[in-house]
Amino acid sequence: MSRAILAVNSGSSSIKFALYRLVQRELGEVILSGLAEGLEPGGQPRATLRYNGEQYALTLLAEPVTGDAFHAMLTLLREQIGLHSDGAQIVAVAHRVVHGGERCADSVVVDETMLTYLRSLHHLAPLHQPHNLDGVDAFRAAFPDCLHVACFDTGFHAQMPEQEYRFALPAELSQQGIRRYGFHGLSYRYVASHLAQVSARAGQRVIMAHLGNGASLCAMRQGVSIATTMGFSALDGLMMGSRCGALDPGVLLHLLQDGWDAKRIESTLYKQSGLLGVSGVSADMRSLRASSDPRAALAIRMFAYRILRECGALTAVLGGIDAIAFTGGIGEHDVQLRADVISGLHYLGLRLDPAANQAADGNAICAIHSTDSSAEIWVIPTDEGRIAAQDAARLLAGV
């Protein structure tokens, strides 16, 4: 019987998953992948599955959720794996976990002691960490005989220099773990490894742009993260789908003095700001592109401007730029945004090939720079699940 590793990303109302064949100690092709959504109370659970090169839509329950839709989804997922896994036995489950804190730079095998530590980090990523770990609990119950591995978004940035990760705060606060951590690490690991396969400049001065509902930039030299736009939390840096990005802390003091409590501030900064807050239309870039509302156009301009502004800062830290790689839902698919960002970097000698940029559709790695560009420009579709599954395979081999 062949073996397989299941990679999962559990959110508050969704599960993203992919089943990878394990050939000896190496990952093979994707057997089955998909996305389940609508798992929140009152939602309409639905799933999209992909196998044998085809995509299928499934309705999980006929009625809106009144019970535990997450477990209902797990039941259906196990059925689908049984139907479409070609008899492969799942031997490990790799879980994307946003925050590893100061203790976890590398992926780890999950046990109760580790879960207790990871739950202590809920306050560092309140929109992600609790749901990630609820997913770990559910999958451990559903697949009790498998090795379960936690793979961290913060790990890629663990080698950042102290002047990057320290805040200008009293030392006792730094000692409590209040520092810059950085996120999107699984995505950056994937992009970095694949850039190294196609570009001789991958070890030089590189900016990676993970642009989606969550968005950040990472400056990399010799394959190592030296600076990133996200910090203590996943709120910092770029403007995002519904998150504010960098914000003067004086704004928070003002809101507190105006009677706002922590919950209201948290909800506003995480769920009601960013593209959604500015546009009043949507957090989805595709909807904003289609809208005639001038607020939508403003939100798009602000999003591109913040990317350009932070690219300038990271270029200064790197001492120049030899390559830039776009990834994430927006980075891979939004032709105009890539053009706007590169146009803003024209003064550095970056030149886009318009036809190559137009042809890049997020389905394959594409070089989109012109022959006279001072830096290479790439679109690299990310696969965080594969990175997580690779770590699980490595730990499985060591058990």
Q: Which residues are catalytic?
A: 153
Strand 224-228, strand 215-221: pairing: antiparallel
Q: Please check if 210 is assigned to a binding site.
A: yes
Q: Please check if 79 is assigned to a binding site.
A: no
Tell me the C-alpha distance between 261 and 258, whole Å: 9
Q: Please check if 16 is assigned to a binding site.
A: yes
Residues 356 and 366 sit within 8 Å (Cβ to Cβ): yes
Q: Please check if 254 is assigned to a binding site.
A: no
Cβ-based neighbours of 41, under 8 Å, separated by 6 or more: 65, 66, 69
Vertex 51, ends 45 and 52: CA angle to 5°?
155
Q: Please check if 96 is assigned to a binding site.
A: yes
Q: Please check if 306 is assigned to a binding site.
A: no
Q: Please check if 300 is assigned to a binding site.
A: no
- Could you tell me which of 278, 257, 345 has the C-alpha nearest to residue 307? 345
Q: Which run of H or of E encompasses 95?
A: strand 89-97
| Residue 251 in tokens | 């704004």
Q: Please check if 286 is assigned to a binding site.
A: yes
- Could you tell me which of 216, 184, 185 has the C-alpha nearest to residue 303? 216
Q: Please check if 332 is assigned to a binding site.
A: yes
Residue 301 CA, distance from chain mean position: 22
Q: Please check if 131 is assigned to a binding site.
A: no
Q: Please check if 185 is assigned to a binding site.
A: no
Q: Please check if 295 is assigned to a binding site.
A: no
Angular region, 44: left φ>0, alpha ψ -120 to 50, beta rest = beta
Exposure of 315 in the CB half-sphere (CA atoms within 13 A) = 18
Vertex 166, ends 163 and 167: CA angle to 5°?
120
Q: Please check if 212 is assigned to a binding site.
A: yes
Q: Please check if 330 is assigned to a binding site.
A: yes
Query: What angle do the packed helices 129-142 and 112-119 form, to 10 degrees?
Result: 160
Q: Please check if 194 is assigned to a binding site.
A: no
Tell me the C-alpha distance between 48 and 37, whole Å: 9
Q: Which parts are annotated binding residues for ATP? A: 16, 210-214, 284-286, 329-333
Q: Which parts are annotated binding residues for Mg(2+)? A: 9, 384
Q: Which parts are annotated binding residues? A: 9, 16, 96, 210-214, 284-286, 329-333, 384
Q: Which parts are annotated binding residues for substrate? A: 96
